[in-house]
Amino acid sequence: MRPFVFVNLAMSADGKLSTRERRQVKISGREDFARVDRIKAGSDAVMVGIGTVLADNPSLTVKSSELKAMRVQTGALENPVRIVIDSRARTPPDADILHKGPGRRIIAVSRQAPEERISRLAPFAEVRVFGDEKVDMSALLAFLHTEGVRRVMVEGGGTLIWSLFAEDLVDEFITFVGNMVIGGASAPTPADGSGFALEREFTRLKLAGMRQCDDGVLLTWTVEREG
Ligand SMILES: NC(=O)c1ccc[n+]([C@@H]2O[C@H](COP(=O)([O-])OP(=O)(O)OC[C@H]3O[C@@H](n4cnc5c(N)ncnc54)[C@H](OP(=O)(O)O)[C@@H]3O)[C@@H](O)[C@H]2O)c1
């Protein structure tokens, strides 16, 4: 058993998540920002890869005080469980995700993580081992399910999202497409990694929603599975 997993991200009109230097850029506007805050507040956990932590230093907190209050009223903590996928425990001990806002944090590492880095992170987060090389995402999701996590929001980046598609662990894919061209063959895209080689391997999606949002378009896709 695993939680429902959905990806939410913002990309440029030409399908880039950031610049070729992996510098964070503003792609969406106020309406999308508020939407992302709402869906985050409606999730049990929110997850990013270590590449995103090193590039953007996100806190992944819920921003609106009303949404935080609503979560608390229902018996939840102000923020969803915040999770970093980080085989080698490279999360900086002063990263915002470890310090901003209350709530549970999990650094998911693999057996590659040096003990000394684990002990530097241990005062600020639960450091849990899943897998030998990269973080074993199926094992992590199964663990989260046993912890009562039913809805996981994945906020990037492209390397983590690719792995989740490759392992058929995504249920919904939400993209905000913004009104700019960033360009660059090496700029991150929503699903980087090695990519599927064969057509029969492609993840097949069904369009579940499409609307204008700010100066861009919001697309919601569900993953189609046979049977
Ligand atoms: N526009 C948006 O919505 C948005 C959202 C998020 C990020 N971004 C951008 O995306 C870029 C960062 O993305 P990224 O692709 O470099 O990094 P990422 O996907 O955030 O993190 C990838 C890293 O996670 C670790 N990892 C551990 N186990 C893994 C597994 N099973 N599968 C995949 N990764 C695993 C690997 O490093 P180790 O082996 O060292 O653990 C891997 O290199 C930044 O430029 C950021 O600004 C944009």
Query: For residue 123, what pLDDT is reported?
Result: 98
Q: Is it the case that residue 50 has pLDDT exceeding 90? A: yes
Ligand 1 centroid to 72 CA: how many Å?
30
Whether ligand 1 lies within 6 angstroms of the CB of 27 is answered as yes
Which of 172, 164, 186 lies closest to 20 in space, CA to CA?
186
Which CATH code is given to the segment(s) 4-223?
A: 3.40.430.10
- Average pLDDT, stretch 45-54? 98
Question: What are the pLDDT digits (tens) for 64-119?
Answer: 999 999 999 999 999 999 999 999 999 999 999 999 999 999 999 999 999 999 99
Mean pLDDT of the chain: 97
- Average pLDDT, stretch 31-58? 98
Whether ligand 1 lies within 6 angstroms of the CB of 159 is answered as yes
| Dihedral of the alpha carbons of 159, 161, 166, 169, in degrees to the nearest 10 | 150
Ligand 1 centroid to 54 CA: how many Å?
9
For atom 25 of ligand 1, the residue with the nearest CA is: 86
- Give the whole-angstrom CA distance, residue 152 versus residue 173: 12
Question: What are the pLDDT digits (tens) for 163-182?
Answer: 999 999 999 999 999 999 99
For atom 13 of ligand 1, the residue with the nearest CA is: 157
Query: For residue 23, what pLDDT is reported?
Result: 87
Ligand 1 centroid to 206 CA: how many Å?
25
What are the angstrom distances between the C-alpha of 94 and each of 83, 86, 90, 118, 123?
A: 15, 15, 11, 14, 11
Query: CB–CB of 85/66 below 8 Å?
Result: no
Q: What sign for the dihedral angle of Cα 123, 119, 99, 145? A: negative
For atom 34 of ligand 1, the residue with the nearest CA is: 160
- Give the whole-angstrom CA distance, residue 209 versus residue 216: 14
3-state secondary structure at position 223 = strand
Is it true that the peptide bond before 157 is cis, omega within 30 degrees of 0? yes
Query: For residue 226, what pLDDT is reported?
Result: 80
**What is the residue extent of each domain of the chain?**
4-223
Instruction: Give pTM, 2 decimals.
Output: 0.97
For atom 5 of ligand 1, the residue with the nearest CA is: 156
Helices (DSSP H) in the chain: which residue ranges? 30-41, 50-56, 65-73, 96-99, 115-121, 137-146, 158-166
Question: Which of ligand 1's atoms lies nearest the C-alpha of 56?
Answer: 47
Whether ligand 1 lies within 6 angstroms of the CB of 55 is answered as yes
Query: CB–CB of 140/152 below 8 Å?
Result: no
- Give the whole-angstrom CA distance, residue 48 versus residue 65: 23
- Average pLDDT, stretch 1-18? 98
Whether ligand 1 lies within 6 angstroms of the CB of 135 is answered as yes
Q: Is it the case that residue 227 has pLDDT exceeding 90? A: no
